[in-house]
Every structure is written in C-alpha cells, then in structure tokens.
Structure 1
Amino acid sequence: MRGRGRMRRISFVWFLMAFMLMFSGTSLASQSSYVVQSGDCLWNISNSTGVSVDTIKQINGLHSDNLSIGQILNLGGYSAPEVVQAPTGDSSTYTVVSGDNLWDISRKFGTSVQNIRALNGLTSDALNVGDVLKVNGTVVYNPPVSRAGGNVSGSRVVEKAAQYLGTPYRYGGSGPGGFDCSGFAKYVLGQFQVDLPRTAASQYGYGVTVAQGDLLPGDLVFFACSGSGIDHVGIYSGDSSFIHSSSPHSGGVIYSSLTNGYYANTYVGAKRVIR
C-alpha cells in the first residue's frame, strides 16, 4: 500500500510539473501575440503591450485601424520600451539603433514626435542607424508657410478639404480615389506642406493642443469612437462643424457637427498644426 501511495504522489508531481510547463509556454506565446477583444483598438493595444501602433500595423500588414474581435495580432516578440529619464540641461541626444522609430524614441524621453522632428529639422519619419538626434531642448514652433510665402490659413485648408466632399470611404485609403479618416487629414494637410503621421492616434501627438472653445478652421479634431482610444480625426470647419471621411455607410467625406450626440460624446481633443 505504501508503494502505491508513493507512486501516486510521484505521478501527481509529474502531472503538476507538466501543467506548469504547459502554462509557462502559453504565457510566453502570449507575449508575441494578442487576441483582439470587444472594445479594443490599436491605440489601447499599443499602450498595454508597449508596441507602437505603426509597428503593430507594419508586422501585421494592416492598412487601416480597423480590427475584428478574435483577430490575432502578431507582436513580433516585442517588449515594452524602457522608459528612461531624459538628461537635464538645455539639450540631450540619442543615437539611433536598429529597430528604432520616432514614436518609440519620443516615449522613451517623455517628449513628442513633433518636438524631435522640430529639434532636428526632420521632414519625414525616416531614420538611419547611427543618427544622433536631439531629444530635449527648446523648440521654436514655425508654422507651415504656403508656396506663395504667407502663413497657411485655416480657411484655405477647409476649402481644399471641401473639394473632396462625397469621396467614398476606403479602408487604408489616402488619396482622391478614397480616404479613411486619417488618410483624408494627411492628404489635405499635405497639400500645404504639413506632413502628418499616418494614423489618427499618431496625428494626435502632432501640433499644439487647443481647447474646444478656441477652435479655428483647419484645426484637427479627434475622437475615441470605440470608447477606449483615439481612432477618428476630422478637420474643423467652423460653427461647431468639421469635415471628415466618416464611414462606408455615411457617404464618405461629409460635414458633421461637434454638437451631435455621437461626436459630442466621443470627442477627445484638438490640435493646431497650422497658424
């Protein structure tokens, strides 16, 4: 009887060890993938995993911010970037290494992509290994100027945006043949030499924060339509209205009102990218 009891205890120990190994393997696997849940958006998945929105989209071949419940996203085994305290003083530098992008660097140093670009005179997000970037310092904001030499006016931006009224909504679209929301904002502002990031969440990190009561035509207005992160953007046109590429079921590029219950409830904030 004692022999049988000992064998049972040994069998139980082996079973327990096997279970722990199996669970450990599952945990390791979960670090390199993420299953989309109800209410998820790329913005909150990025915040919870430490992998940038642009990186998630790149390694999963996503052309828009749209996700489906149950969708498995590959995170490429990334871990959250280490947050480092930026050195004190008027300026500090960072040397670009393989795999770096402006979004991750800005998070490391508690600054914004726009500030890094302004400090270093960058006109795009492209980086080269070995580049030495200023990541801390005083930035003088110079508003974009028109090709005629004057400051870009918000009314001109709205006039340009209105030329595309009725253009169909297209997932991942960023041209006159079809736009998604951030593709529309990027395309229109691009006509005035304002190079916005590609996604609504990334665009929110660009420009100067504006209170809703101080909005001017041409400002970007942002929304968290899914309720858990910025996933929609439009161009303010005045009188509490904005122009945006809404959805496939709403007519594509249309005007909407900030006082509308849906957009009033999902409004997050605004940024001024021109003056």
Structure 2
Amino acid sequence: MKALRTLLIAAALGSAPALAATYTVKAGDTLSKIASVYRMEPAQIMRLNGLRSTTIEIGQKLNLGNVAAPATTARTAAPAAPRGGAYVRSTASRFLGIRYALGGTGGRGIDCSGYTSLVFKQLGITLPRTAAAQWRTGYAVSSRNLMPGDLVFFNTTGRVASHVGIYVGDGLMANANSYQGRTVIEPLFGNPYWAQRYIGARRVLS
C-alpha cells in the first residue's frame, strides 16, 4: 500500500517515480546519450557497472540504479549523428590509405575490424573488436538489399567472418586490405576474390 501511495502521489505531482532500471544498449547509443536520457552523468553509469572506459557494445545491459523514468525519449535524447549514404562514404573515406597491420587499431597501422570500428565510432556506434564478434551484431540483410553502412563479411581463412568491410554504395566497399597493404575502397561483388568468399551482411545503423 505504501508503494502504491508513493506512485499515486508522484503521478499527482506530475513527477516520475524512481525506478530500479536496466538499459539494453541499442545501435547508435553512446554512454553520454543514455546518461542524458535518464538525467544522469556518464561517470555514474560507469561506477554502477564497473566500466573502465566509455566503450559500450550493442546488446550490453547497463544497470542504471534508481533513476527517474524519462518523460519522453524524444525530448531528452541527444540528436543522432547523420547516417545518410553520402555521410557514411565520406566518413569511411576519411581513413583511407592507412597502412594495414594485423591487430592494429590506427596510428601506425590498422586491420579490417579495427578499421570498421574506427569508422563506426565516428557514427556514434561502438563495435566489438574482431570480425567474428562484429558478425554477431545488428541483424542480417540480403545482398540485394545492401545499404551504405552495412557491414559485409567474408570467409578468407576457413573460419566464418574472418574479414569485414563497410558497404558504401554503388557496389563498392571500404576495407583494410592486407593484399593492397592499406585501407581502400574497391568493388564488392565485382571482385572475384571477394565475391567467392562473401558470407553475408549485418545492419547496425538504424
């Protein structure tokens, strides 16, 4: 009865009651964006979840403690980064020419999943580190319905999803190419090597 009375008083006063809440990270979320929606500081969420950095992954469940439920996400959410085809291609092109280095994430070199992670970070999305883990993000899309920003995957070593690139439209993909030794934009299905090893695509941009 006491709990019910508290809820009724809160409703009458037009304020949202404090709730023990968890939040599942979605495509496009950042820690600061989630904190803004729930009127928290990013540092609070980091402390509640034992996070050592602001990096979060799609599907991750975050403990938000006792927070006031947001009145409407539309009013409090930070504006999403632009994600049109031209913007995706422009963002991917910013990091072309970086030397390929297995396990690299930038600076002196970068590998395929390091490149996709770097580009998607600019789009407001944190991807898992490896191609195999990125294969498990988002949802599957057919090759007939590819859109700029879709992750495209290949089997190059006998393992599922051992290489990943970003579809940028017009039958092209951006990727860190070990054969060419750098990040490039090149044909996707127009290249027999990639066409024969293509295994599917995943969409993580909403």
| TM-score (norm: length of structure 2) | 0.61
- Give 1:29-48 correspondences, 5 Å limit: none
CA distance, structure 2, for counterparts of residue 179 and residue 236 of structure 1: 18
How many residues align? The count is 141
Q: Which amino acid aligns with 1:124?
A: I
Runs of 5+ in structure 2 lacking a partner? 1-22, 27-33, 35-48, 50-54, 64-72
Give the distance between the partners of 1:148 and 1:116, measured in 2 at CA.
19
Partner of 1:226: 157
Greater RCO (Cα-Cα under 8 Å, separation 6 or more): 2
1:171 aligned onto 2:74 = no
* Structure label with greater radius of gyration: 1
In the TM superposition, what is the alpha-carbon distance from 1:163 to its structure 2 partner?
1.5
Q: Deviations over 1:134-162 (max 9, x none)?
A: xxxxxxxx9xxx97545522321221111
1:257 equivalent in alignment to 2:187:
yes
Identical-residue share of aligned pairs (%): 38
Task: Tell me the residue number matched to 1:237.
Answer: 168
Q: Deviations over 1:235-265 (max 9, x none)?
A: 1011211010010x41310122222111001
Does residue 210 of structure 1 match 2:141? yes
CA pair 117-211 structure 1, distance change in 2 beyond 3 A: same
Contact 1:167 1:179 in 2 (8 A): yes
Query: Which of 178, 196, 199 pairs up with 2:127?
Result: 196
Which stretches of structure 1, 4 residues or more, deviate above 6 A after TM superposition? none
User: Closer, same or farther in 2 for the Cα pair 1:149/1:116, shift >3 Å?
Assistant: closer
| Counterparts of 2:81 and 2:155, CA distance in 1 | 34
Q: Distance in 2 between matches of 1:218 and 1:270?
A: 10
1:66 is aligned to none
Return closer, same or farther for 1:216/1:124 CA change in 2, 3 Å cut-off.
same
Tell me the secondary structure at the aligned position of residue 262 of structure 1.
helix
